[in-house]
Homo-oligomer: A and B are copies of this chain.
C-alpha cells in the first residue's frame, strides 16, 4: 500500500475532538494523538512517550501541555519534554514528533510528511458544517480493507449500476457510459451526464431526471461532489455539454468524503451530504443520510470481500476495463507523488 505522506489526511471530525480529551488515531501506520486545548488549539503528536513508549492518548491535558500518565513526563505542543518528575535534567533531544495539523471544514487535517511543505492551501475545498449554504448530515465507518480499494471504488462510478440500484436507485447508464476524466495537480476530475436517473427527493424518486455528475477526487483520498439534477431531456438539449451555472435545477446537493488509510489493511471513511439551502431542508438531508448509510454499507460488503479475495490471491493480476481510466489515473498520481517524496 502506497501512502502519500506529503498530503493532508483527515484524522477526525472537528466536533469529535473535544477540549482536554486526547484522541488516538493511526494514519498510514503512524500512531498519532490529537488534542484540543481549552482555547481551541489543536495539537498532533506521535502517540508514544519518549520514555517507555506508553501511549500519550491515555494522558492528561494540563493547560497547553499533555502529560503521559504512566510515569508523568510532560510534553509541550512541539513535542519536546517539559518535565520529568523527580529529575532535573531533561536530556537534549528528548521529544516526540509533532505533526502539522489544521482544523478546517469541520475536519482535523494532519500532514504526515515533511513539515516544511505543509501548506494549508493544499487542503481540498470540502464543505463543512460552518458553511451556511448547505444543510449537512455526517457519518463514518471503518473498513477492514486497504484505502486503495476505496479510492478505486470512488474513481469508478460504473459500480453504481450493480452495487447501488436499491440505495441510490442507480440505473444502468452509470455502467454503460463513461465520464470525461481530467488529471489535475493533486486530483482527478470526473464529469458527464447520466440521463433518466430516478430522482432523490422523497416521493419523487420515480420521476426521472438528468444528473450532471461532476466530482473531484483529491490526494490522499478526498471526494468533493456538487451534484445537480435537471429535468429529463436537459442533457440532450445541451448536446452533452456542461450545464451553465444559472440553469434551473431540480436538485442540488454537496457531499464531501474522506478516505483515510489507518494501516496498510484498514481504513476509515468520513462523509457528509445534504442539499443546498435553496433546494432542500432537514427532512431531505435526513432522507439522503438514510440513503448514504445504506449505500456505503453496500460498498463495505463488496470491498471487504474483495480484500479477502486479494489477500488469498497474491499472484493474480487485475484486468482493467475502459471504466478504469479514472482509477488508473488516480493511482498513477498517487505513485508519482509518493515517488517524489523519496527522491
Contacts and interface: CB of A to CB of B under 8 A. Distances in A.
B163 A55 contact: no
A53 B313 contact: yes
Interface in A69-101: 69-73, 84-87, 91, 94
Interface stretch (A2-10, A221-229, A289-297, A299-307): A299-307
Given A48-B309, A53-B316, A87-B321, 18 more contacts: A31-B309, A47-B309, A48-B316, A50-B319, A51-B319, A53-B310, A55-B309, A67-B162, A70-B163, A70-B302, A71-B156, A71-B162, A71-B321, A73-B321, A85-B161, A85-B172, A85-B176, A87-B323
A116 interface: no
A309 B47 CA distance: 8
Contact of A161 (B72, B309, B321): B72
A52 interface: yes
Contact of A52 (B52, B71, B152, B172): B152
Chain A interface size range:
35 or more
A39 interface: no
Given A48-B309, A55-B309, A313-B48, A162 B70 contact: yes
A31 B84 contact: no
Interface of A: 26, 29, 31, 47-48, 50-55, 58, 67-73, 84-87, 91, 94, 152, 156, 158-159, 161-163, 172, 175-178, 301-302, 305-306, 308-310, 312-313, 316, 318-323
Contacts of A54: 302, 305-306, 309
Contacts of A72: 158, 161-162, 175
Report how many copies the assembly holds.
3
A326 to B, nearest CB: 13
Given A51-B319, A162-B70, A86 B177 contact: yes
Contacts of A161: 72, 85
A152 B323 CA distance: 51
7 contacts: A47-B309, A50-B319, A52-B318, A53-B306, A54-B305, A84-B321, A85-B161
A96 to B, nearest CB: 10
A309 B71 contact: no
Contacts of A301: 58
